[in-house]
Structure 1
Amino acid sequence: MYKNLVPAGALALAAVCFSFPAFPQTQPAAGEPVKAGFVYVSPITEAGWTKQHDEGRKAVEAALGAGVKTTFVENVPEGADAERVIRDLARQGNQIIFTPSFGYMEPTLKVAKEFPDVKFESITGYKTAPNVATANARYYEGRFLAGIAAGRMSKTGVAGYVAGFPIPEVLQGINAFTLGMRSVNPKAEVKVVWLNAWFDPPKERDAAMALFNQNVDVIAFHTGSTAVMAAAQERGKLAVAYHSDMRKLAPDAQIVAVTHQWGDYYTRRVRAVANGTWTSGNVWGGVKEGMVRVGDFGSKVPKAVQQEVLARQKDLASGKLRPFAGPMVDNEGHEVVPKGQVMTDAQILNMNFLVSGVQGRIAK
């Protein structure tokens, strides 16, 4: 999904920072639809990372109608297979290609050099080119809000977190979730299990079950399937859905969902190709920009908790709430953000610590 090895200042504090391409724009022939291709790292399941990106594709179709023709390829491994599929989509005449997985970044850049008139959108990547733009969302904002809900709903004060890889984006989520919990329960703890996989339902389920055996009564995850939610439903525990609303799968377990909304961004980018205004650049949007949303509360969540979470969501959108504001201490007792200071975007993008309250270490 996303590996944040981003140089300082690579993403602007503002949501959008465009740079103009070095070669002339090309537009579809008059009356012809824009052809847009999408590459997915996993199968399109009932909910999850890939599902949300496919919902974004469908939103493009709904918005542009006959003005767009989309195609997608699912379950494409990162690496050589991705390069082959991206190249095939370019050869098939797609004028814009979306590649939503961090491991697609280098294959996208390589193919982009071969097809300078095709526009590419590297979702979760950070390297741009004249015909390659990047975009990602501030997922950690939703994590903080979910932590508030988890802190209010947990009876043991112990949460679990099933994590894919120990990269900055995942660390941001774990830390924000923990800080959210501790904002309402200062003694809350979060236990983390590392999988070193983005999409492995059996491993995700096993990790969740192991956490439930350690006094965990609410769980969050940063992986691509619905396995953790299903495990929570089975065990009678509570869970935070990620990427998508998962109440259909886990109606009793879900307390809230952190959802990713790609439709507006994808539609704007395809429309820009259609009218010849597409430019490269980067986007890092969050609650304010509508790219991250928290809601879809479960039936067990009291109205007061729902209202609290939604109020804090408004605070995030207005800038009144900053999840990574000092004083902050890591789980080894070192001060990482002094009182009165707030982490910069560059610091957030290169996060390499776990906050106080997280049990465990960053996996090597």
Structure 2
Amino acid sequence: MNSLTRRQFLQYTGAAASVVTAGGLTDAARAEEVLKVGVVYVSPIAEIGWTKQHALAVEAVKSELGDKVAITAIDNIFMPQDAERVFRELAASGNQLIFGTSFSHGTPLQKVAPRFAKTAFEHCSGIVHLANLGTFEARYYEGCYVAGAAGAHMSKSGKIGFIGGFPIPDIVGPANALLLGAQSVKPDITCNALFLNSWFDPGKEKEAANTLLSQGCDVICSMTDTATGVQVAGEGGAWSIGYASDMARFGSGKQLTAFTLDWSSDYLRAAKGVAEGNWKPEARWDGLAAGVVKMAPYNEAIPAEIVAKLKQLEADIGAGKVHPYAGEVKDQDGNVKVAGGSVLSDTDIRGMNWFVQGMIGKLG
């Protein structure tokens, strides 16, 4: 697998074009037997985090398909104008399947996909579908709800904290689920929420975590692309909840659990579909039941009987017996958003732009 910076990619595509031109029918036929896949990461590939989990899914494709796939991966592409150029270059260089891995890749993909009708595009965290653009996402809120319950069992202050990258529905929804899960154990517990307006800014994240500690939060969950929140919480004697990857080794023994992401099934499904000629754009949104969302091992400090309850909660959510957004649910101002006896629809969950009652913070 090639892992390239954008500058290296430009050099790579130029070299590839020369090879194809000089190739001949035999080489061309051999090239057609190999599935060319391009992947664009929003941040650098680190030991853990959002991009790492996508990189692991790419490795799963390589492991499954072996020499039948050639993968070009480009990291740290965040700005929309850069992403549009990179997606266009990947498509122009013959990649039959191209992945975008961030909400911020949405507009660039929507611009590029129609120009390359024979190329399949997949967008993680996307909401727009085209004839050759599919989307996949995780039900983060399911893992957040379980993690919130774990946090409430261990919290002594009755205050938990949440750090998000941006106040978008994909982050606001899980933040609400974290608190609702905690309130299912302790109804009066509250959550202080802060947003960094960045996916990857360890300095800002450290400041935010310290702010939450100073506000009395003794459990901190951070939905960013670093382990900074887990690390700062542990160093400050607070419990933490990891996101995307299991971050326990950074938490000074204080990570309660993590809601991890396994994108392998999404990547493999798309790759095999393109290779077999039956790929179609889909809107996939899976959680605990499908194994896209998984809970990391629970901290040994959590009593065994509580761990048993948490694992049962996982199973009940996966089976549909418990819904994190089951009513009655009120917003910060006390307005009923989900009536008793009903649950929030998938459409409303994916467009969530309000905080639940007990959340301390602002979205604007």
TM-score normalised according to structure 2 size: 0.89
Name the residue aligned to 2:80: 79
Superimposed CA distance per residue, residues 39-67 of structure 1 (whole angstroms, 9 cap, x where no aligned partner): 01110111111111111111111122222
Q: Give, as a single letter, the amino acid of the residue that structure 2 aligns with 1:303.
A: A
Partners of 2:195 and 2:296 lie apart in 1 by: 26
Q: Secondary structure at the match of 1:280?
A: coil
Deviation at 1:31, TM superposition (A): 7.6
Corresponding position of 1:291: 292
Pairing 1:89-104 to 2, within 5 Å after superposition: 89-104=90-105
1:16 corresponds to = none
Query: Hey, what's the Cα distance between the residues in 2 that align with 1:303 and 1:74?
Result: 41
Contact 2:231–2:252 (CA under 8 A) maintained in structure 1 = no
Query: 2:233 matched to which residue of 1?
Result: 232
Structure 1 residue matching 2:71: 3-state secondary structure:
strand
Task: Look up the equivalent residue of 1:103 and give its one-letter code.
Answer: S
For the pair shown, the structure with the greater C-alpha radius of gyration is 2
CA distance in 2: counterparts of 1:142 and 1:345, whole angstroms: 16
Counterpart in the other structure of 2:164: 163
What displacement does 1:276 show? 0.3
Could you say which residue in structure 2 is the equivalent of 1:10?
A: none
The equivalent residue for 2:332 is 331
Matches within 5 A, 1:1-364: 32-362=33-363, 364=364
Tell me the secondary structure at the aligned position of residue 274 of structure 2: helix
Residue 258 of structure 1: CA displacement?
0.4
Structure 1 CA distance for aligned equivalents of residues 34 and 304 of structure 2: 46
Tell me, yes or no, if the aligned pair for 1:44 and 1:50 is still in contact at 8 Å.
Answer: yes
Query: 2: CA distance between counterparts of 1:85 and 1:227?
Result: 29
2:9 maps to none
Return the alpha-carbon distance in structure 2 between the equivalents of residues 78 and 340 of structure 1.
43
Tell me how far 1:328 sits from its aligned partner.
1.0
Inter-partner Cα distance in structure 1 for 2:32 and 2:117: 23
* 1:302–1:31 Cα change, 3 Å: farther
Secondary structure class of the residue paired with 1:61: helix
**1:259-278 C-alpha deviation (Å, 9 max, x unpaired):** 11101110111011111010
Q: Which amino acid aligns with 1:42?
A: S
CA displacement, residues 340-359 of structure 1 (integer Å, 9 cap, x when unaligned): 11111112122122111111
1:129 counterpart SS class: coil
Letter in structure 2 aligned against 1:328: V
Give the 3-state SS of the residue equivalent to 2:134 in structure 1: strand
- State the Cα deviation string for residues 109-153 of structure 1 (Å, max 9, x = none): 222122111110011111111111111111111100100110111
**Identity across the alignment (%):** 39
Give the number of the structure whose residues are more often helix, by fraction.
2
For structure 1, the residue ranges without an aligned partner over 5 or more in a row are 1-27
CA contact (8 A) 1:259 1:292 kept: yes
Cα contact 2:162–2:192 (8 A) shared by 1:
yes
- In structure 2, the partner of 1:18 is none
Q: Secondary structure at the match of 1:45?
A: coil
SS in 1 for 2:250: coil
Q: Distance in 2 between matches of 1:234 and 1:289?
A: 34
Residue 253 of structure 1, CA deviation: 2.0
| Aligned residue type for 2:144 | R
The CA RMSD measured in Å over matched residues stands at 1.5
- Residue type at the aligned position of 2:223: H
Describe the SS at the equivalent of 1:184. coil
Counterparts of 1:334 and 1:79 in 2: how far apart (Å)?
37
- With the length of structure 1 as denominator, give the TM-score of the two structures: 0.89
Aligned equivalents of 2:302, 2:70: Cα separation in 1: 41
SS of the residue corresponding to residue 93 of structure 1 reads coil
C-alpha separation in 1, matches of 2:60 and 2:137: 18
Tell which has more relative contact order, 1 or 2 (C-alpha 8 A, sep 6+).
1
Where does residue 14 of structure 1 map in the other structure? none
Letter in 1 for 2:61: V
The number of aligned residues is: 336
